[in-house]
Amino acid sequence: EEHPARRSAVDGGVADASLLQELRGVRSDTPSVWFMRQAGRSLPEYRALREGTTMLDSCVRPDMAAEITLQPVRRHGVDAGIFFSDIVVPARLAGLGVEIRPGVGPVFDHPVRTEADIEALPPLGDDYEEALAPISEAVRLTVAELGTTPLIGFAGAPFTVASYMVEGGPSRDHLRTRALMRSRPDLWERLATWVAELSGRFLRAQVLAGASAVQLFDSWVGALGQEQYLEHVQAHSAAALAHVADLPVPRIHFGVGAAHLLLPMLGAGATAMGVDHRLRLDRALEVLPAGTPVQGNIDPAVLFTSEEARFAEARGVLEAGAAAAGHVVNLGHGVPPDTDPQVLTDLVAFLHSQRVARAAE
Ligand code: CP3
């Protein structure tokens, strides 16, 4: 059967959605927008539904994951859903002991630091394929409800996921991970290869079930210099993205504080670059090859300012992205949990009321 991403609205499909067009380098007059972490604690309906279920358990209940994915689309009128899951869900499905501690983040029972730890990683065979079934099911349920609104699938990139595994939990400097990379490049290589396969197949399962675009999150990659990235990370992110390279979906790649890595991250096989709020989009466009669509990058801080300041920032982001081949509006990073949801709804309405300034033809 034909992939949904190829089916046009005329046939009841999503292929004509302007957000997907922007990601393919075709501009629309009206801005397209979604928010990283649009699903989650900022929404009272999310908190109500999640009550009594742990974060990771909710991710493997297809009905719940689908409903949580749909909540922000209904409420805010954003132009895409982001699949509700987490970058450590694949590790859990592969059999590793990991939980998400509220207010902390992912915590692994056994940090992966030695050769024996890496030796003990579960093989990613048929068991893993079967374990991905609830993910595929959740995506199918979601896509059926979304109609002509695209679903964005995602995975964590090898560096960011491996960092949680090596550190055992969240970390500011990712020192153990970066030390492993330098002192035992052979072990790092084996770990990153395993994670690339883990994340890559999670990504592929989502696309085969109907996701129309993907985003690879390398949230913490900004901790690395260009040399370390090129030598130890780029090939593994490329391996993860290669799992969907034969499918007709745009591939967005995003990192925080990664202005110095825009080109190497694009070089890992992305087709569009997510940019955080530290770098203006017109600056990013000076670095990226002509024709690269960009995504971003309203500073999440303006969600806690006056509406006037917020809309001024949004206008500035539209202007800075006007010269891009394609632009999908987003925040520079995720929605903070204490965001007033009405602020997001109003921001979407404001963005949809704006017209994209076209370069003179
Ligand atoms: O709308 C969406 O974006 C929902 C899907 C989503 C989640 N996590 C749900 C989630 C996505 C795309 C992610 C990716 C993710 N997870 C990243 C990359 C994106 C980024 O923010 O940089 C990272 C680094 C993680 C790891 C992680 N998981 C962290 C740091 C946290 C926050 C911990 C906390 O309590 O502050 C989580 C938990 C998490 N993932 C929540 C949600 C909705 C909160 C869980 C809860 O409700 O308690």
* Cα–Cα distance, 56 to 318 (Å, whole number): 36
Q: Residues 108-126: pLDDT tens digits?
A: 999 999 999 999 999 999 9
Q: Residues 170-205: pLDDT tens digits?
A: 999 999 999 999 999 999 999 999 999 999 999 999
Q: What is the pLDDT of residue 319?
A: 98
Q: What is the pLDDT of residue 5?
A: 79
pLDDT at 44 over 80: yes
Q: What is the pLDDT of residue 174?
A: 97
> Ligand 1 pocket: which residues have CB below 6 Å?
36-41, 50, 55, 82, 84-87, 100, 102-106, 154, 160, 217, 219, 334
pLDDT at 32 over 50: yes
Q: Residues 302-342: pLDDT tens digits?
A: 999 999 999 999 999 999 999 999 999 999 999 999 999 99
Q: Residues 239-249: pLDDT tens digits?
A: 999 999 999 99
Give residue 11's pLDDT band: very low, low, confident or very high (50, 70, 90): confident
Is residue 340 among the annotated active site residues? no
What the chain holds in terms of domains, given with CATH numbers, is 38-293 (3.20.20.210)
pLDDT at 360 over 60: no
Give the angle subtended at the CA of 204 by the CAs of 331 and 116, to the nearest 5°: 95
38 is in an annotated binding site: yes
What mean pLDDT is reported for the chain? Answer: 96
Instruction: Name the active-site residue from 46, 75, 86, 299.
Output: 86
* Cα–Cα distance, 8 to 46 (Å, whole number): 31
86 is in an annotated binding site: yes
Give residue 13's pLDDT band: very low, low, confident or very high (50, 70, 90): confident
The radius of gyration of the chain's CA atoms, rounded to the nearest angstrom, is 19
DSSP letters, 240-287, are HHHTTTTSS--EEEE-SS-GGGHHHHHTTT-SEEE--TTS-HHHHHHH
